[in-house]
């Protein structure tokens, strides 16, 4: 089981954390990996805390339970840091990535004594500047690929461009905005 | 696969059609509902005007039409409901106790 | 050539139904099965499936329409969950009693009340005696494969029974995982043409669903019972042929590390995978443990299971549904009955687990294997009707 990378996403209903987890599964799938991408379903509504999961591995994983000891935690909304035990079970040699304008050092005191690596990226700002609205999942996806090293970066960027052309064939501005957001988030993530 | 030829037969399970589907049309002819009769209608040919009010109301198709004329009742299937007797305006259909 | 894809369980089922190229789908939405008709209706709208999609007003009507379509000589399927399956109840018996090979994707969800949208098996387990063949699926791949194979099984002349293919709501229905798809042509070739020996639209008139008096009803019930018993051979033949096509070999149940197992867990659907991981972990420590994953629950593989359990010391049967009989869940009572004629019966205990979407964790499975160790040590089962994962128990 050691070759399985487990990721837990924390977000709020409507922010796209589930979509981001599915996009990451897609990206990893495109590099030949076995993937799982699944949300924890509950009484979801806009703004309610939600959790989503990824397992990424070289062989098929047969586990069908939630993830309790993730290698990585991704927090799409920093206000969850004080509302949810985001570092619960997070491996010491893993990492947490938070959507925030603050630095990792500034946020570490909110992480219940977590001693592993902390990264931040201002996905909200990047999204607003490149896409004109706060839609943080694309930049978060770029940052998690950067931080985890799960997928070769060049291939990831190429794949994303390809699938965006597929999805938004007639909206070049959307493709450009998303690709810029993706590249910026990979460069601007703090804590590396 | 065969269907039941007559309700009085008692075929074995493997002689019956799957799921009771009746394979074939007009199979009600093979069920002798005439046995159920308590009352019996009678056709009075000389009073009959061949107006055809009776045969469409017969629920058992027990009033045969031959060469565009109604003929005597099909007593193998007439259940003796009396609807034909009620609709006949000419008193050409009697209705009394069976076996009287 | 297999197609490498990643799909959720619901997408996988919709894809299978598209490749089967149904004549009719009649469906009514209910969580978590809604996506099946949703994706499927998109295929129809895009011209990718030549199917008449009937948006009915209830599940009762959905099953009625499927029954009618199959009686007209077509292939028809629907999908549902939980209360939707409950509302179909009356028609489930009509489909099997009329011997019409309807197929149904059940995305397992708990039954109300209290209302809950998450996974357990109370819906399909409640329908286990409705004369439907039941296939269970661990993941998206098995759901896809079972759905395709269900056509061949249902329509076989020696069977002519409806088939429901079950998978776990949300846990697999909404989880994206890798999957290998068949080419459309391979599916078409595998399932062949549906050629019933009668149909309402064929030249010769037939009457479907007539009154069956006491003079005849019992014989028809016996026919259905014989068909269910005889379907086992057909199921195995279809599994074998599918294995030759895909390399994925299926049996009535999968035996995992059972060769010399002293303790075994019997389980079905998604948690079988989680259990396998615990089994590996214990095997690495030298413990003789195994797993039996049931794929076919109806017909129930009684002799085969008894044989597989004949050398085992203690067995835990996992039920994701409680039958409220106060003596255990539905899988348990059947497995226990299967073992009755064994010369050396294993000790059998029952665990009700995972109701209403309670996550089934590795430590839950570890607890069960530990309990089996205690049973073996004590030489008696103790309490047989147990629960795992309930707070306070």
Q: Tell me, what's the ipTM?
A: 0.93
C254, β-bridge pairs: C293
Fold equal for C3-182+211-246 and C253-388: yes
CB C223 to CB B18 under 8 A? yes
Q: How far is C255 from chain B (nearest CA, A)?
A: 36
Asked if the bond preceding C113 is cis, omega within 30° of 0, the reply is yes
CA C42, CA C40: separation in Å to the nearest integer?
5
* pLDDT tens sequence across C288-314: 999 999 999 999 999 999 999 999 999
Q: Find the CB nearest C216 among B14, B18, B20.
A: B20
Listed by start position, the domains of chain B span 1-31, 34-97
Residue of B nearest to C96 (CA): B19
**What CATH class does B34-97 carry?**
alpha beta
List subunits contacting chain C, requiring 3 or more Cβ pairs under 8 Å: A, B
Listed by start position, the domains of chain C span 3-182+211-246, 253-388
Chain A contact probe: residue of C9, C171, C175, C282 with most A CBs at under 10 A: C175
If one counts every other C-beta atom within 10 angstroms of the C-beta of residue C212, the result is: 16
Instruction: Give the CB-side neighbour count of residue C271, counting CA atoms within 13 A.
Output: 26
Q: Is C274 on the interface with A (CB under 8 A)?
A: yes
Residue A109 has a pLDDT of 96
Residue of A nearest to C117 (CA): A42
Record: fold of C253-388: Rossmann fold (3.40.50)
Burial B48-61 (b: 16+ CB within 10 A, else e): beeeeebeeebebe
Record: fold of A5-188: Pyruvate-ferredoxin Oxidoreductase; domain 3 (3.40.920)
* pLDDT tens sequence across C245-294: 999 999 999 999 999 999 999 999 999 999 999 999 999 999 999 999 99
DSSP code of C286? T
Cα angle at A109 between A106 and A115, to 5 degrees?
105
C42-62: average pLDDT:
97
CA A21, CA B57: separation in Å to the nearest integer?
70
CB B19 to CB C99 under 8 A? yes
If one counts every other C-beta atom within 10 angstroms of the C-beta of residue C177, the result is: 26
Q: Is B23 on the interface with C (CB under 8 A)?
A: yes
**Could you confirm whether domain C3-182+211-246 is CATH 2.40.10.220?**
no
Residue A163 has a pLDDT of 83
Question: pTM of the entire structure?
Answer: 0.94
Q: Any residues with CB less than 8 A from the CB of A182 and at least 6 apart, and which?
A: A138, A139, A141, A142, A157, A160
Range in A163-172, B24-33, C133-142, C346-355 the model is least confident about: A163-172
Confidence check: pLDDT of A1 > 50: no
Torsion of CA C393, C137, A24, C356, to 10 degrees: -30
CB A22 to CB C176 under 8 A? yes
């Amino acid at each position: 089981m050691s070759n399985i990378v487990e990721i837990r996403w924390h977000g709020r209903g409507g922010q796209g954390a589930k979509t981001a987890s599915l996009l990451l599964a897609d990206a990893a799938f495109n590099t030949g990996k076995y993937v799982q991408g699944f949300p924890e379903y509950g009484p979801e509504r806009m703004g309610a805390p939600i959790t989503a999961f990824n397992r990424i591995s070289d062989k098929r994983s047969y586990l069908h339970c939630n993830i309790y000891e993730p290698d990585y935690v991704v927090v799409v909304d920093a206000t969850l840091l004080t509302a949810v035990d985001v570092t619960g079970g997070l491996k010491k040699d893993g990492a947490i990535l938070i959507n925030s304008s603050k630095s990792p050092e500034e946020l570490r005191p909110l992480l219940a004594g977590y001693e592993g690596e902390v990264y931040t990226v201002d996905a909200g700002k990047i999204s607003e500047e490149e896409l004109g609205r706060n839609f943080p999942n694309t930049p978060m996806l770029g940052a998690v690929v950067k931080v985890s090293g799960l997928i070769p970066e060049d291939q990831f960027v190429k794949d994303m461009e390809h699938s965006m052309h597929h999805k938004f064939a007639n909206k070049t501005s959307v493709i450009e905005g998303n690709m810029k957001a993706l590249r910026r988030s990979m460069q601007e993530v703090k804590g590396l | 696969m065969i269907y039941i030829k007559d309700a009085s037969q008692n075929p074995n399970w493997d002689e019956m059609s799957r799921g009771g589907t009746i394979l074939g049309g007009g199979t009600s002819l093979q069920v002798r509902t005439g046995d159920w009769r308590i009352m019996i209608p009678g056709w009075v040919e000389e009073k009959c005007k061949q107006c055809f009010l009776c045969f469409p109301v017969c629920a058992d198709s027990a009033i045969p039409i031959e060469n565009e004329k109604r003929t005597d009742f099909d007593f193998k299937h007439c259940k003796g409901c009396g609807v034909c007797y009620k609709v006949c305006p000419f008193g050409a259909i009697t209705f009394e106790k069976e076996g009287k | 050539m297999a197609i490498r894809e990643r799909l959720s369980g619901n997408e996988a089922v919709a894809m299978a139904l598209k490749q089967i190229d149904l004549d009719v789908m009649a469906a009514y939405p209910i969580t978590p099965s809604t996506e099946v008709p949703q994706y499927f209706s998109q295929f129809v709208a895009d011209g990718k499936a030549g199917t008449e999609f009937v948006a009915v007003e209830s599940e009762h009507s959905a099953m009625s329409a499927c029954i009618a379509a199959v009686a007209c000589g077509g292939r028809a399927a629907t999908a549902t969950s939980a209360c939707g399956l409950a509302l179909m109840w009356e028609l489930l018996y009509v489909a099997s009693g009329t011997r019409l090979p309807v197929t149904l994707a059940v995305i397992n969800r708990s039954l109300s009340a209290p209302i809950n949208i998450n996974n357990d098996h109370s819906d399909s387990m409640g329908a286990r005696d409705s004369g439907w063949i039941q296939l269970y699926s661990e993941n998206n791949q098995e759901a896809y494969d079972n759905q395709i194979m269900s056509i061949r099984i249902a329509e076989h002349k020696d069977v002519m029974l409806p088939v429901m293919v079950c998978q776990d709501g949300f846990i697999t229905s909404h989880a994206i995982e890798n999957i290998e798809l068949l080419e459309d042509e391979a599916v078409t070739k595998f399932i062949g043409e549906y050629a019933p020996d009668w149909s309402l639209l064929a030249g010769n008139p037939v009457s479907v669903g007539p009154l069956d008096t006491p003079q005849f009803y019992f014989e028809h019930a016996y026919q259905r019972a014989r068909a269910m018993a005889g379907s086992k051979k057909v199921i195995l033949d279809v599994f074998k042929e599918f294995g030759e096509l895909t390399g994925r070999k299926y049996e009535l149940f999968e035996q995992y590390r059972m060769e010399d197992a002293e303790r075994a867990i019997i389980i079905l659907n998604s948690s079988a995978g989680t259990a396998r991981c615990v089994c590996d972990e214990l095997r690495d420590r030298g413990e003789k443990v195994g797993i039996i994953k049931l794929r076919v629950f109806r017909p129930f593989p009684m002799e085969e299971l008894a044989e597989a359990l004949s050398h085992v010391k203690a067995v835990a049967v996992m039920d994701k549904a409680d039958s409220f009989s106060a003596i255990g869940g539905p899988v348990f009572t059947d497995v226990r009955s299967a073992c009755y004629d064994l010369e050396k019966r294993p000790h059998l205990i029952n665990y009700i687990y995972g109701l209403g979407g309670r996550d089934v964790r590795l430590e839950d499975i570890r607890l069960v294997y530990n309990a089996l160790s205690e049973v073996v040590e004590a030489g008696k089962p103790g309490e047989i009707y147990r629960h795992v994962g309930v707070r306070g128990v």
